[in-house]
Structure 1
C-alpha cells in the first residue's frame, strides 16, 4: 500500500543539495574481518557537498557481522589524512532522527570503538573496547558517487545495509545505474536473519532510495512491524513519497 505525503525532512535535505549537481551520495562498501569475524561495512562521506564547512568530515555508515546479520548504524568523523573514528549507534526512533550513540556504560564501555584508515582499495584499523583490541582488515567491493558534474558512477557491488531491519530480515538496498535511470535503488534485498539466504529481491522503478541524505535512512520502520517504509522521489511538490511495503507475511 502506498502512503503518499510531503516529507518535511526530505525538503530539508533537498535544500542542502547544490543546484550544480544531482545528488549527494559518496558511498563505499567493504567486506573483510574484525578479528576473525567476517563483516560487511558501508560508509558515506560528504566531502563534495560540504566542502567548505565542517560537515565535510562527517561519516555515516552501517555494518553487520555475517554471522548475525543485524545492521549496526555508524556515526563518526573523518580526518584530513583519511583516518576515521566511528561510533556504534542504535537505529533512529523515527524518520528524520539521527542514530543515537549510547553513553559509555559497563555494558557498553566504548561507544566509539572503531578506528579506520581508508585507502584507495580498502581500509585497515582496530576495534577496541576496554578489554579487547581486534584488527580490522577491509577490501572495497563497491562504490557509488552522484556528486559533482559528472554522471553518477557505480563501481562493483553497491548493496547498502539499511539502518532499519525487521524481526526476520536484514534489508539491503541494491543500487545501480542504467541508460534511463542515472542512479537508483533497483531492489530491496530481504536477507533472512536466521540462515543468511536471500528470501526475495523487491524490485523498484527509478527514484527509489534517493530521498534521505544519509543513504541508510531511505528505508525505515513502519507502524506495522511486518512492513517497512521505502522513500521514493516524486510525490506532492516533488518532495518525495513514502511507500508502506509489506516485507513479511
Structure 2
C-alpha cells in the first residue's frame, strides 16, 4: 500500500531546482561501492562524489557504511584532498524518527587513498588505529553519459531498530535512465531480506510518465531518497517527475520495525 503527495520540503526542492538548471538528468550521482576489511571486520562502503555542482568543481564526499556483523548504516561525509587522499567523518543517526539525518556524534576517523579499484588507508580514533582495505564492487555514474557497472545497492541513511533499507539501482528495459528499481528491507541483525518493494510501477493516481522511471532520483544525496514515513510502519520514497517531484509513502511489514 502507498500514497503519493507532491514533494514539499522547501530546502531540498530549492536544491533540486537549482541543480536541475545545469543538467537534463540529475547529474550528481557518482557512486562507488566497496567491500573489504577494517582491521578484521568485514564492511560494505558506498561513497558519492559530485564532480561539478552548478558548474563548479566540488570536492565534497558523502556516503554510508556498515559492518556485516551489525548492519546499522553509519553516515559518512568529508572531502577529496588536493593530494588525492580522502578524509571522511562518520556520524550516528537516530533510527525511527522523522529527523533521519540528525547527528548524535561526529568522528573524523577515515584517511583513505584511491588507487585503481581499491581504497586503502586507516580508521583512527584517538590512539586507536586500524588498517582499511577495500575493493570496488560496483559503480553508478550519471554525471555525463550514464554508466553502471555491477549490481549497485545503496544502503540508505534511514533505518529502523530492526531493518536497514537498500535501494537497488539500474537501467530497466522500459527506462532510459538509471533509477531505483526496488527497495530491499534487510534485517540489521543477520542480513535476512525481510521484504522487497518493486518501485518501477506507477501509482494509479499518478501520471505514469512521471513515476515509472523516477524512483529514488530526486534527492541530491542519493542516500536521502528513502526516509521516515508518517509512522514507524512506513517509509517515504522520493520520486522525480513533475516540477518538484513526489513523496511516496509505502507501508512496511511488521518485521521491519
Query: Which TM class, normalised by the smaller chain length?
Result: 0.7 to 0.9
Shift of 1:198: 1.3
Q: Any stretches of 5+ residues in structure 1 without a counterpart?
A: 104-110
TM-superposition CA deviations, 1:134-171 (whole Å, max 9, x none): 000000000101112x2x11101210000001121110
1:19 to 7, 17, 22: 22
Corresponding residue for 2:41? 37
How many pairs align?
235
Aligned-residue RMSD, C-alpha: 2.0
The 1:112–1:61 alpha-carbon spacing in structure 2 relative to 1, beyond 3 Å, is same
Answer yes or no: is 1:74 the counterpart of 2:76: yes
2:199 to 200, 204, 207: 204
1:175 to 161, 169, 188: 169
The 1:168–1:102 alpha-carbon spacing in structure 2 relative to 1, beyond 3 Å, is closer
Q: Any stretches of 5+ residues in structure 2 without a counterpart?
A: 201-212
Shift of 1:129: 0.8
Shift of 1:80: 3.0
Output aligned runs, 1:82-97, within 5 Å.
82-91=84-93, 94=98
Q: TM-score normalised to the size of structure 2? A: 0.84
Query: Which deviates more from structure 2 when the two are superposed, residues 32-41 or residues 176-185?
Result: 176-185
Shift of 1:99: 5.4
- Structure 1 or 2: more strand by fraction: 2
Corresponding residue for 1:122? 118
Shift of 1:73: 0.4
Output aligned runs, 1:219-238, within 5 Å.
219-234=226-241, 237-238=242-243
Q: 1:45, 1:60 within 8 Å by CA — same for their partners in 2?
A: yes
Q: 2:101, 2:158 within 8 Å by CA — same for their partners in 1?
A: no
The 1:12–1:72 alpha-carbon spacing in structure 2 relative to 1, beyond 3 Å, is same
Query: How far, CA to CA, are the matches of 1:52 and 1:233 in structure 2?
Result: 24
2:185 to 186, 190, 198: 190
Corresponding residue for 1:4? 5
Query: How far, CA to CA, are the matches of 2:55 and 2:111 in structure 1?
Result: 23
Query: How far, CA to CA, are the matches of 1:50 and 1:139 in structure 2?
Result: 31
